[in-house]
Structure 1
Amino acid sequence: MTEIVVIGAGYAGLAAAKLAARWTGAKVTLVNERDRFVERVRLHQLAAGQTLRDRPLADLLRGTGVELVVDRVTGIDPDTRKVQLRGGALTYDKLIYALGSRADLDSVPGVREHAHTVASREEAERLRADLANARVVAVAGGGLTGIEAAAEFAESHPGLEVHLITAGELGAALSTAGRAHLRKAFARLGVVVHENARITAVDAGGVALADGRVDADTVVWTAGFTVPELAREAGFEVDARGRMVVDQTQTSVSHPDVVAVGDAAAMRRPDGLELRMACATGLPTTQRAVRALADKLAGKEPKPFRFKYVQQCVSLGRRDGLIQFVHEDDRPKEKVLTGRWAARYKELIVKVTILFERHPTLPAG
């Protein structure tokens, strides 16, 4: 019997394991360092003081036939097709690499020592404890993670002074209407925005900029993500960011017995467009990748890869939101949905994501 090992049980890895068990006749083993599924898109809510639902992986895998191994992956030997764990090793015929991404803590001095992140549940819980006594928080990074975090902190802690520091214009990837609503929301929430600000260091007293500083007793780092070094260390072909380079079936270009999904895969459309790290990318491409793997195992030719974006969903606290509709190549359209309806829309999307994890054959894009 073919043995498929999936490493990483985030949004892409959990779905990949369940799809592989359903669509192939293989024995599927899922390896994850923790026994819980983490709703990463909600971690800014956890940090702000809200309670997240506990989601044991065993519950999400019940009845699927997937074997769960709770252990840390320490290495991969592609020559012997072994995944090294702290407690032993697993042999595979096919490997699905789904280790995801994490906050980049080393691109700027002081970040690792002095900043919090919302990239893992443990980090969000530490930030939650710190925010309970904070007076001023500086959120470094003007991407969607930073925007959502700043809005959530300001709404949940009305007495907290919240600063958002971005290297470019606030909401640069949004349309004119989207940027206008974002500025209106931040003004309502009292978030102080520092645009076109280059961060040079983080210290115990805040954030140093190329042309000044922002004093804060708590710094939250959302300015960029990186991926684990395991793929590079194992000798797989990776891009400059360490993501596994894959073909149109998301198979490693250097090792055809390995498929990469989610943030740790360097995915491109046939027209060359690089796909961004996001659930909107990871879930539908994971379906396509596992379907292609199943087709290959069955001796069939995989269908051509097609992918298009539809929207970007941004929460601005619990009562406001921004749905930015986009062209298929992710360029913003002028059309947006804002306010309470947008907040409800975003909440529905997040809930549907969990529904997808329970039933990953549902359409994902």
Structure 2
Amino acid sequence: MSAHHEVLVLGAGYAGMAAAMQLAARTKRRDDVTVTLVNGSERFTERMRLHMAATGQPLDALDIPGLLDGTGARFVRGWVTAVDADARTVRIDDDRVLRYDTLVYALGGVADTAAVPGAEEHAYTLDGDRDAELLAGRLAGGTGTVAVVGGGPTGVETAAEIAERHPGLDVVLLARREPGAGLAAGAAAHVRAALDRLGVRVRAGAEVVKVLPDGVDVADGEHVAADAVVWAAGTRVSPLAAAAGLAVDGHGRVVTDRALRSVSHPEVYAVGDAAAVGQGYGVMHGTCQGGMPTGVHAALTILRTLGGKRTKPFRFGYYHTPISLGRNDAVVQFTHPDDSPRRIYLAGRMAVRYKETVTAAPWPTYGRMKRMPASGVLWPRGGRFTRKGEAR
């Protein structure tokens, strides 16, 4: 390891930004550590608000280099095309090669359009700002049928938002299970009632097997006609980790130890959707709720390692599942640490206010990380920001 330590963070999503900002805040007065953040765009993508952008609602332009300004961290714009884990280098799309001593791998997931024939060619996704803009342009006419495939939170939020913003559109939600199936009974009933109120036609038990230019085919042989198809049925991760020789699970996620280090390459940390992070209840699933804490923990572990201290295990429990149902309705399901539903939930305007607070929290959190002293950790807990020193 060289005297000067190069930390490279790949991906500026929720987890990657948390790692980069925590590292930048804690090393800004050091000249022996360099933090570099690599991302394909200078704009931070608010994935939790993309269903709004897809219906033509403007989002704030959140500038990543501007946030990093003054921290000492460096920003490199570019799409990662290869990782050489043995040589400890990363190649980006303009053929630049970046070296690292420590890598934070935070290349998150995208819609799994490879799972069903035709989805890649004919379906819209909500993977980034450009995708949302394309869908917004397609929906601007305000007539016809839109099929949203996927009954999870992304599919429900997207179907509700389209139906509310474009009442002239016929919106059909195709899902294997009833929307809200993982929620408590009362919360699930509220979701279904809201979709009914908005005029969304729900087709539960529909397994889409092919996407065509004029709609989708389902497993029972029926063709569901649609002028536009939105794919929200599952995600996949980048194949770069597997190609680099990192140990991955069956979904291509980097398998980590309890400190979030790759089990095959301990100088590589994996966070967010890119990581297979084991907890007592199983492997974490990808959400902003879990992604940001992994980024913070990886940053703190890197700094502990550089300081010759022992690593600490990452522990995480889920707290809630917020789901928007248009601009005037929502459900917030509170959960047990393993993400199973508690009996308590919020619905209606109170849930809307809660959801908006949660959605708006990440970017201000990064700004507070930038301004905090090097000895503090700033983290949202229960809707409030808390500051504490790093545990010894």
Whether these two folds match at TM > 0.5 is yes
* Residue matched to 1:106: 114
* Residue matched to 1:76: 83
Quick one: which of 323, 336, 340 aligns to 2:332?
A: 323
Q: What is the alpha-carbon root mean square deviation over aligned residues? A: 1.2
* Residue matched to 2:379: 363
* Residue matched to 2:70: 63
**Pairwise CA distance, 1:21:** 2.1
**Pairwise CA distance, 1:272:** 4.7
Counterpart CA distance in 1 for 2:336 and 2:13 is 27
Q: Is the 8 A contact 1:205 1:215 kept in 2?
A: yes
Secondary structure of 1:130's counterpart equals helix
Q: Where in structure 2 are there 5+ consecutive unaligned residues?
A: 370-376, 382-392
* Residue matched to 2:235: 225
**Pairwise CA distance, 1:79:** 1.6
Normalised by the length of structure 1, the TM-score is 0.97
Per-residue Cα deviation, 1:180-223 (whole angstroms, up to 9, x for no partner): 10011011101100001111111011111112232110100000
Secondary structure of 2:264's counterpart equals coil
* Residue matched to 1:140: 149
* Residue matched to 1:9: 12
Equivalent positions of 1:226-265 (< 5 A) are 226-265=236-275
* Residue matched to 2:223: 213
Q: Is the 8 A contact 2:281 2:338 kept in 1?
A: no
Per-residue Cα deviation, 1:36-71 (whole angstroms, up to 9, x for no partner): 111111111001110011111111112111100111
Counterpart CA distance in 1 for 2:136 and 2:294 is 33
Counterpart CA distance in 1 for 2:62 and 2:26 is 24
Counterpart CA distance in 1 for 2:103 and 2:81 is 15
Normalised by the length of structure 2, the TM-score is 0.91
Q: Is the 8 A contact 1:140 1:146 kept in 2?
A: yes
Counterpart CA distance in 2 for 1:210 and 1:71 is 40
* Residue matched to 1:126: 134
Q: Is the 8 A contact 2:106 2:271 kept in 1?
A: yes
**Pairwise CA distance, 1:364:** 4.0
Counterpart CA distance in 2 for 1:86 and 1:334 is 49
Per-residue Cα deviation, 1:227-271 (whole angstroms, up to 9, x for no partner): 1111011100011111100011100000011001111011111x2
Counterpart CA distance in 2 for 1:72 and 1:309 is 31
**Pairwise CA distance, 1:120:** 1.2
Secondary structure of 1:43's counterpart equals helix
Counterpart CA distance in 2 for 1:232 and 1:8 is 17
Q: Are 2:34 and 1:27 aligned?
A: yes
Secondary structure of 2:378's counterpart equals coil
Counterpart CA distance in 2 for 1:304 and 1:140 is 37
Secondary structure of 1:171's counterpart equals coil
Per-residue Cα deviation, 1:320-340 (whole angstroms, up to 9, x for no partner): 000001011110012110001
Secondary structure of 2:297's counterpart equals helix
**Pairwise CA distance, 1:288:** 1.5
* Residue matched to 2:202: 193
Q: Are 2:274 and 1:267 aligned?
A: no
Quick one: which of 102, 108, 114 aligns to 1:94?
A: 102
Q: Where in structure 1 are there 5+ consecutive unaligned residues?
A: none
Equivalent AA in structure 2 for residue 323 of structure 1: V
Q: Is the 8 A contact 2:172 2:202 kept in 1?
A: yes
Counterpart CA distance in 2 for 1:357 and 1:218 is 36
Q: Is the 8 A contact 2:112 2:233 kept in 1?
A: yes
How many pairs align?
Answer: 364
**Pairwise CA distance, 1:285:** 2.0
Of residues 220-229 and 290-299 in structure 1, the stretch that sits farther from structure 2 once superposed is: 290-299
Counterpart CA distance in 1 for 2:365 and 2:319 is 17
Equivalent positions of 1:335-350 (< 5 A) are 335-350=344-359
Equivalent AA in structure 1 for residue 129 of structure 2: R
Equivalent positions of 1:170-181 (< 5 A) are 170-181=179-190
Between the two proteins, what is the percent identity of the paired residues?
46
Counterpart CA distance in 2 for 1:123 and 1:331 is 31
Q: Is the 8 A contact 2:146 2:228 kept in 1?
A: yes
Distance 1:41 1:122, change over 3 A: same
